[in-house]
A and B are shown apart, each in its own frame.
Chain A
Amino acid sequence: GQSLEQPSEVTAVEGAIVQINCTYQTSGFYGLSWYQQHDGGAPTFLSYNALDGLEETGRFSSFLSRSDSYGYLLLQELQMKDSASYFCAVPRNTGFQKLVFGTGTRLLVSP
């Protein structure tokens, strides 16, 4: 089966940079996704890495190292609205479209 580990909570201040780590265990690997969820809201897709390296989308970047079974989400120039939970996810072995989600990292951004 698959399992993912993320820190439960990370705190930072406005304007700072924060990194949210995710380590995974899978028998096969088909990419790592990240989703954001604000309190009371729905998860929304942020990024996907299939290959090693850094993918950048505005203030957010996502990194993957397949040899280390490790990835991270990097948030730059933090804003109060970035306070949310962030989930990493990998496809289940039985199908690309079905995801296994980590338990999530709650990011608290303070002024």
Chain B
Amino acid sequence: NAGVTQTPKFRVLKTGQSMTLLCAQDMNHEYMYWYRQDPGMGLRLIHYSVGEGTTAKGEVPDGYNVSRLKKQNFLLGLESAAPSQTSVYFCASSTGLAGVPDTQYFGPGTRLTVL
């Protein structure tokens, strides 16, 4: 049981390049999330998904796109990277049980630098 995994762990991009971050979970969770973490800013929600085939915008969605074609995978795409997107990106998942905030399980993170 690997929990939540993310690839790659590190990446350096040049401004304008594109890339996709992959998140996978083996806990059969319905809900999945992408966050970015910047120094002094805590965790900010980029996009999330409440089930296979669904996605929705979070707090800071501009410049990112996501897809959830399979329940266990959640992809985050950067179409044209900008230096402001230099950050640590975390994927998380949760069961999505109704009515009660439940535990979010986080992946190890991807450190992205945009030059």
Where the two chains meet, the residues of A that have a C-beta atom closer than 8 Å to any C-beta of B are: 8, 30-31, 33, 41-45, 48, 50, 87, 91, 96-104
B59: chain A residues at CB < 8 Å are 100
Contact A43–B101 (Cβ < 8 Å):
no
Write the nearest CB–CB distance from B52 to chain A, whole angstroms: 16
A45: chain B residues at CB < 8 Å are 103-105
| Chain A interface main SS type | strand
Q: Given A43, A91, A103, which contacts B106 in the complex, CB threshold below 8 Å?
A: A43
Q: Given B42, B44, B100, which contacts A104 in the complex, CB threshold below 8 Å?
A: B42
30 pairs from A and B in contact (CB 8 Å cutoff): A8-B40, A30-B101, A31-B100, A31-B101, A33-B103, A41-B109, A42-B106, A42-B108, A42-B109, A43-B104, A43-B106, A45-B105, A48-B101, A48-B103, A50-B100, A87-B42, A87-B43, A96-B102, A97-B102, A98-B33, A99-B45, A100-B45, A100-B59, A101-B42, A101-B43, A101-B44, A102-B42, A103-B41, A103-B42, A104-B42
Report B63-100 residues with CB < 8 Å from chain A CB.
Answer: 90, 92, 94, 96, 98-100
Q: How large is the interface on B (under 10, 10 to 19, 20 to 34, 35 or more residues)?
A: 20 to 34
Write the nearest CB–CB distance from B31 to chain A, whole angstroms: 5
Residue among B41, B45, B104, B107 with max Cβ neighbours from chain A (10 Å): B104
Alpha-carbon distance between A100 and B58 when the two chains are bound, in angstroms: 10
A43: chain B residues at CB < 8 Å are 43, 90, 92, 104, 106
Alpha-carbon distance between A91 and B50 when the two chains are bound, in angstroms: 15
Residue of A nearest to B40 (CB): A103
Residue of B nearest to A8 (CB): B40
B50: chain A residues at CB < 8 Å are 97
Alpha-carbon distance between A64 and B58 when the two chains are bound, in angstroms: 27
Alpha-carbon distance between A95 and B28 when the two chains are bound, in angstroms: 20
List of 3 A-B pairs having minimum Cβ-Cβ separation, nearest first:
A42-B106, A103-B42, A101-B43
Alpha-carbon distance between A48 and B97 when the two chains are bound, in angstroms: 15
Alpha-carbon distance between A41 and B43 when the two chains are bound, in angstroms: 13
Alpha-carbon distance between A33 and B40 when the two chains are bound, in angstroms: 19
B103: chain A residues at CB < 8 Å are 33, 45, 48
Write the nearest CB–CB distance from B48 to chain A, whole angstroms: 6
